[in-house]
Chain A
Amino acid sequence: QKEVEQNSGPLSVPEGAIASLNCTYSDRGSQSFFWYRQYSGKSPELIMFIYSNGDKEDGRFTAQLNKASQYVSLLIRDSQPSDSATYLCAVNLNKLSFGAGTTVTVRA
């Protein structure tokens, strides 16, 4: 079992819709969870981090963490074409484990 798993997509949503990305992880002791956005040919950019169960909102982004079920999700509200990118889920920090990424395409 991979340490971090994501649906590779692509996930296509119309402009203005909600994009929902999911991530599951295997290490039940994981404490830190991150979402990075990576545009083609660019390095990853940290967009959200969450440490506690529940929801965390930042602008149009909401991260949701459920440690009992070992999943973390990212919601992008009012999706814009500029949100089209690959989104990487990452878990822990001593040795950060990345998912393979979910490619999101927002249709204008």
Chain B
Amino acid sequence: GAVVSQHPSWVICKSGTSVKIECRSLDFQATTMFWYRQFPKQSLMLMATSNEGSKATYEQGVEKDKFLINHASLTLSTLTVTSAHPEDSSFYICSARTGTGREKLFFGSGTQLSVL
């Protein structure tokens, strides 16, 4: 399947700092990428839809000023968690949608964020 690279795999930061997570589609162009959050033993929660060259679409209840999404190219989307707090500690996963023929969704490896 298509390859989606997500970096970093894990990050520990102090409360109040900002953390940037990168998501890259390595072998295809992704006009649309998605960002999810997953708490332990819970299902994936869609946070936002990232469209190349335009503003992201956020799901209800997700603060756009706290979770900044930038999709500047067809292969890269970034999520910045600003002024992180311990309650932001979670597993963040990006995904990218292929655009050739029957579309499919492939996931990055995820980023485990721990805010102290």
**Residues of A participating in the B interface, judged by any CB pair closer than 8 Å:** 32, 34, 36, 41-46, 49, 51, 88, 90, 93, 95-96, 98-101
Q: Is the CB of A93 within 8 A of B110?
A: no
List of A residues within 8 angstroms of B49 by Cβ: 95
* Binding-face segment, B12-20, B81-89, B96-104: B96-104
- Encode B41-76 as 1/0 by CB contact (under 8 A) with A: 001101001000000000000000000000000000
What separation, in Å, do the CA atoms of A36 and B106 have in the docked complex?
10
Q: Interface of chain A, helix or strand or loop or mixed?
A: loop
Q: Is the CB of B104 within 8 A of A43?
A: no
What separation, in Å, do the CA atoms of A44 and B104 have in the docked complex?
13
List of A residues within 8 angstroms of B107 by Cβ: 36, 43-46
Q: Is the CB of B1 within 8 A of A44?
A: no
Quick check: is B115 within 8 A (CB to CB) of the other chain?
A: no
Q: Is the CB of A34 within 8 A of B105?
A: yes
Q: Is the CB of B110 within 8 A of A42?
A: yes
Q: Is the CB of B109 within 8 A of A34?
A: no
Q: Is the CB of A88 within 8 A of B104?
A: no
The number of chain B residues with a CB under 8 A from chain A is 21
Given contacts A34-B104, A43-B110, A45-B107, contact A96 B34 (CB under 8 A): yes
Q: Is the CB of A46 within 8 A of B43?
A: no
Q: Can you report 17 A-B residue pairs in the complex whose CB atoms are below 8 A from each other?
A: A41-B91, A42-B109, A42-B110, A43-B93, A43-B107, A43-B108, A43-B110, A44-B93, A45-B107, A46-B1, A46-B107, A49-B102, A88-B43, A88-B44, A93-B103, A96-B105, A100-B43
Shortest Cβ distance from residue B108 to the other chain A in the assembled complex, whole angstroms: 6
List of A residues within 8 angstroms of B43 by Cβ: 88, 98-101
Q: Pick from A41, A51, A93, A99: contact of B105, CB below 8 A.
A: A93
Most chain A beta-carbon contacts within 10 A, residue among B34, B43, B107: B43
Shortest Cβ distance from residue B88 to the other chain A in the assembled complex, whole angstroms: 18
Shortest Cβ distance from residue A74 to the other chain B in the assembled complex, whole angstroms: 16
Q: Is the CB of A49 within 8 A of B104?
A: yes
